[in-house]
Chains A and B, each alone.
Chain A
Amino acid sequence: MPSKIKISSQYAVQMRGVTKKFNNKKVLSSVDIDIKKGTVHAILGENGAGKSTLMNILYGFYRADEGTIFLNGKIAEIKSPHVAIRNKIGMVYQHFMLIDKFTVMENIILGNEMVNKFGVLDLKKSRNRILEISNKYSLLVDLDAKIEDMSVAMQQRVEILKILYREVDILIFDEPTAVLSPTEIEDFISTIRGFALEGKTVIVITHKLKEIMNSSDKCTIIRSGVNVGTVNISDVDQKELAEKMVGHTVELSAKKTKFTPGNVVFKITDLCVENEKKVLALDNFSLKVRAGEILGIAGVDGNGQRELIDSIACLAKVKSGVIEICGKQIQNTNPCNVLNNGIAIIHEDREKIGLILDYTVAENSMMKNYKLKDFSKNGILKKKFIDKFAKNLINKYDIKPENCINIPARNLSGGNQQKLVIAREISSKPNLLIAVQPTRGLDVGAIEYVHRMLIKERDEGRAIILISLEMDEIMQLSDTISVIYNGCIVGNFDRKMTNEREIGFLMAGGEKNDYNLKIS
């Protein structure tokens, strides 16, 4: 909707009529936005709604086809990120732009080095500047540590320091909490609140409703490239925000039938796995899954989840320990054997590992069972059967567009790609289904769908492991919850006997007993 607010210097950023097309597809159509100085302003929208594009235009990464940007009431032409920084705008991307082998200090000053009169780096001066900033905002970090040795939260801190060092007044964050644990998220929120108090303007791009409620003053909702409204956070609740975002009523929690577990189907005992750096990424890791059970593995990214999946899929070498499916040991065999034993994995990275994007939908749909004799005769593929098989999946799992068997998977939307992966994995009727971040990058509608599918499989008696970084997802779907921290399971819970605070406490490295002490 067009903004009625006048251009004024009270507003750090005002955009008028911003339109952007990619390949003749409108991703933003005539968007107006007003962001007041000294506030935290959230930009909410589903994936592909255009919220990141809008901010990338503000940061000069893209150029708008039409529209004007006003900074502090004055018109500004932001041709490139360079110009944006000169205009005191800084952006922290979801994927950090840091050089792993450089130290924190080197990363911060990179591209903006202070030199003395002979053109030699003046590291002392830079160091003092950085220390000054980090003390001011209590963003403490070891300036001489290398990026590759730091946690993700610390890396984010470096990114923030990097833009503060460039003296920005407007800070844009793209999905800043995606990789943080609950306590780290709390820290992050208090940091950005601090910036707002200092008079800086913070813009947060996100699709996480709860964090908006906790952190922001105002929220602008973008739906399919259109600004559908700006609200004061104090006037709305989560459900209202969600409905504005998707444009129809939503069910935020999934319904489940009663939990009736069967026999143990899958068991991991004392698993030890080393990562690429020869450090134990999984350390005496054990778990059990029963038929008809969803076991949720909660944890912050990088605590051994990847190694766990790789070792189950036999893509990583297991140092010691046993992985057992239906009583059969499979550790250190090969991926083919894992498949044959009925383990299906919905991989988190559907673009790089789950699918072959240049293969057609039909070709992708048979990737796990092309060796079965129905699919080929004397080594020659049976095209008719394959097409029928793919068509069947497309109908059954409602993959759009309908006639997509012969188009490359690349041309499907993210949600439909994920549906294709899920359809393929579930249709193989596995003994154990492992879903890793199954709703990553999906919009609310698709998330609902994926959750329904997982619950349906569980109701039909399948054993399911759900590995997710999204606390809400774990809490909604799981029957039992295990918390992974630093390569170990640090707590097992019945879903009904625990709560988000307890899980979050353990995810961040707290001790189970400490938590009980804390609350008693």
Chain B
Amino acid sequence: MTTISKFLKKPVSSLFLSVFCGFVTSFIILAITGYSPFEVASSLFNGIFSRPKHIMNVVIKGMPIIFTGISVAFAFKGGLFNMGAEGQFIVGTIASLIAGSIFDLPPFFQVLVVVVFGTLAGTLLGGLTGFLKAKFGTHEVITGIMFNWIALYISNFVVSLKNFHRPNSNSTFPMKDSGFTGLRGNLGFLKDSFFSDILKTEVNVGIIVAIVVAIFVSFILNKTQKGYEICAAGLNAEAAKFAGMNVYKNTIYVMMISGGISGLAAALSITGTSPHSISILAGFENNGFNGLSVALIANNSPIGCIFSGLFFSGLIYGGKSMQSDLKTPSEIINIMMGVIVFFVAVARIFPIIVDRLLKRRQKSNG
């Protein structure tokens, strides 16, 4: 039995158990509300895996939250909680749209300029958060939340500007199509194959960049001198300071890079998928907030964010097919995700519970 508790102490097994508990709990809720858990499970599964198209859609939807997950994970390694990923994503979208509408360059350069603008906007907002933290000690979570709202209203303001606003709609004009990052045109060779229905999706370069960024960030954190400093400051700022590291500067750098990754997510998102424009936002779209959950499930590993991001987007996307097949309420999938995140957050209780059960058994035996 001790092997079980040892097994459960490994982070990975706790993670899978958390996910499992999340599913079980949500199926119980479904059963109580009168839906057959098996039907729901099969509908969810089919919604994700039945056709290449669905899988590709999960990947496309997952791309932005993989990025914001990496962004949050990176900041977390540096000891900062990037609650402002949402806002950084929004300003990234705004900057990308503006650049993509104003400039008119050949396709490759246009994409480059749009992406640089989006990334830069996120970098600046993240950097500002970091600067306020380093200089005045303002907590990054507070400023992050405030900047999220500021970004939201700036976005709505931009939509209302005469130059960008499309008449009789609640959105802007789309950006110039030379800035699009869709790959459909390059995948013509798939036309007659089994994968042909991928061409019906908005397949784009985003996921490739996401994987590259995940590997790159992972390399920076684990193999470089800068990464050594960042993690040192994150694990123990006092010790890092004492060892001669400049923790203040680090805070600003880390937030800049983290913000930049969220901005990049936004740029690739708006250039990759329609409508390539911004709409009036009544509330947050949760690209950044979902990143928090993604990073949490990935235990702040950038590579892990790829998988947890896909898992999350699978739930979101598959949840839609549940809704259309079985008429389940849309909230159920949110409950499921919430429960899973909850169990991941408290995953540490599993080994404790097992230990306690073991002890009780020993007592009753002896």
Contacts and interface: CB of A to CB of B under 8 A. Distances in A.
Interface string B1-43: 0100000000000000000000000000000000000000000
A352 B225 contact: no
Interface in A333-376: 334-336, 338-339, 345, 347, 352-359, 363, 367-368, 370-371, 375-376
A336 B239 contact: no
Given A371-B225, A376-B225, A379-B226, A356 B244 contact: no
Nearest to A337: B244
A354 B239 contact: yes
Nearest to B222: A381
Contacts of B228: 363, 370, 381
A315 B245 CA distance: 12
A368 B223 contact: no
Given A335-B242, A352-B238, 20 more contacts: A315-B241, A334-B246, A352-B236, A352-B239, A353-B242, A354-B242, A356-B235, A356-B240, A358-B236, A367-B232, A367-B239, A368-B243, A368-B244, A370-B225, A375-B225, A376-B225, A379-B226, A381-B223, A381-B224, A383-B223
A226 to B, nearest CB: 22
Interface string B202-239: 00000000000000000000011110100110011011
Contacts of B242: 313, 315, 335, 345, 347, 353-354
Indicate the member of B2, B228, B242, B246 with the most A CB atoms within 10 Å.
B242
A355 B239 contact: yes
26 contacts: A335-B242, A335-B243, A335-B245, A336-B245, A336-B246, A338-B244, A347-B242, A352-B236, A353-B238, A353-B239, A353-B242, A354-B242, A355-B239, A356-B232, A356-B235, A357-B236, A359-B232, A359-B235, A367-B232, A367-B243, A368-B243, A370-B228, A379-B224, A379-B225, A381-B224, A381-B228
A5 interface: no
A517 interface: no
Contacts of B245: 335-336
Given A335-B241, A379-B225, A380-B223, A356 B246 contact: no
Contacts of A367: 232, 239, 243
A345 B242 CA distance: 9
B76 to A, nearest CB: 13
Nearest to A364: B239
Interface of B: 2, 223-226, 228, 231-232, 235-236, 238-246
A513 to B, nearest CB: 39
B239 A334 contact: no
B358 to A, nearest CB: 11
Interface in A292-322: 313, 315
Interface of A: 24, 313, 315, 334-336, 338-339, 345, 347, 352-359, 363, 367-368, 370-371, 375-376, 379-381, 383
A354 B243 CA distance: 8
Q: Which 7 A-B pairs have the closest CB atoms?
A: A336-B244, A335-B244, A367-B243, A356-B236, A339-B244, A376-B225, A358-B235
B41 to A, nearest CB: 38
A79 to B, nearest CB: 15
Contacts of A368: 243-244
A294 to B, nearest CB: 23
Contacts of B239: 352-356, 367
A380 B244 contact: no
B225 A380 contact: yes
B218 to A, nearest CB: 13
Contacts of B223: 380-381, 383
Contacts of A354: 239, 242
Contacts of B244: 334-336, 338-339, 368, 371
A368 B240 CA distance: 10
A354 B239 CA distance: 6
Indicate the member of B224, B225, B241, B245 with the most A CB atoms within 10 Å.
B225
B159 to A, nearest CB: 42
Contacts of A370: 225, 228
Contacts of A381: 223-225, 228
Nearest to B359: A65
Contacts of A357: 235-236
Nearest to B366: A66
Contacts of A358: 235-236
A355 to B, nearest CB: 6
A357 B234 CA distance: 12
Contacts of A380: 223-225
Nearest to A352: B238
Nearest to A424: B243
Contacts of A379: 224-226
A370 B229 CA distance: 9
Contacts of B225: 370-371, 375-376, 379-381
Contacts of B243: 335, 339, 367-368
A24 B238 CA distance: 33
Contacts of B238: 352-353
A112 to B, nearest CB: 32
B140 to A, nearest CB: 21
Contacts of A339: 243-244
A276 to B, nearest CB: 14
A334 B249 CA distance: 13
Nearest to A315: B241
A142 B182 CA distance: 77
A375 B228 CA distance: 12
Nearest to A376: B225
A148 B223 CA distance: 46
Contacts of A338: 244
B226 to A, nearest CB: 6
A359 B228 CA distance: 10
A371 B246 CA distance: 13
A357 B238 CA distance: 12
Nearest to A375: B225
Nearest to A371: B225
B5 to A, nearest CB: 10
A407 to B, nearest CB: 15
B58 to A, nearest CB: 34
B167 to A, nearest CB: 52
Nearest to A24: B2
Indicate the member of B225, B240, B244 with the most A CB atoms within 10 Å.
B244
A191 B78 CA distance: 50
Nearest to B247: A335
A204 to B, nearest CB: 33
